[in-house]
């Protein structure tokens, strides 16, 4: 291999399932981001998407530490002048608990086209039922 080029060994993408019931949001998100990027694999290369698919269930039961329910803000913009909207984590959890997990994981992925491709392999569900049983996802424990 005198040319100096690196060749990526293509690998089979695995499916992992993480149960977020009672788990801390940041720990679940960092574990999922690591799997989506493929950093757990020996053939990980920073410029290739070697990551796996991740399914997160029970997003409604994820835990926030401290006073983040009252203090953490989620912002979005309507697109109109003065259209910045803010919601507390408590309200976001009531309306759409999947958004809590999705935004936490997205913030831990690269902010590039490659990061967008990794994010598309993430599936988050509010409750324990999911339509990915045919892929035979492997259950993972978050420490």
How far is 111 from 135, CA to CA, in rounded Å?
Answer: 28
CATH number at residue 69: 3.90.1180.10
Q: Is residue 119 part of a domain?
A: yes
**What does residue 75 show for φ and ψ, rounded to 5 degrees?**
-110, 145
Indicate if the alpha-carbon torsion angle 54, 143, 45, 9 is positive or negative.
negative
Cα separation, 77 vs 20, in Å, equals: 28
Q: How far apart are CA 116 and CA 110, in angstroms?
A: 8
**pLDDT for residue 111:** 97
Record the tokens describing residue 138, joined without a space: 């492997």
Could you list the pLDDT tens digit for every one of the 143 residues in the chain? 555 665 555 578 999 999 999 999 999 999 999 999 999 999 999 999 999 999 999 999 999 999 999 999 999 999 999 999 999 999 999 999 999 999 999 999 999 999 999 999 999 999 999 999 999 999 998 87
For the chain, the domain total comes to 1
Evaluate whether 87 touches 51 at the Cβ level (below 8 Å). no
Range of the domain at 131: 15-140
Is 10 within a domain? no
């Amino acid at each position: 291999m005198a040319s100096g080029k690196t060749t990526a060994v293509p690998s089979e993408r695995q499916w992992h399932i993480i149960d977020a019931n009672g788990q801390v949001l940041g720990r679940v998100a960092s574990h999922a981001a690591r799997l989506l990027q493929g950093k757990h694999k020996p053939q990980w290369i920073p410029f290739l998407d070697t990551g796996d698919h991740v399914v997160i269930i029970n997003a409604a039961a994820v835990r926030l530490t401290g006073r983040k329910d009252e203090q953490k803000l989620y912002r979005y913009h309507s697109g109109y002048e003065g259209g910045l909207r803010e919601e507390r984590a408590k309200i976001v959890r009531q309306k759409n608990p999947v958004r809590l997990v999705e935004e936490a994981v997205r913030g831990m992925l690269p902010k590039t086209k490659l990061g967008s491709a990794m994010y598309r392999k993430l599936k988050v569900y509010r409750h324990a039922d999911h339509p990915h049983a045919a892929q035979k996802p492997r259950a993972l424990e978050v420490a």
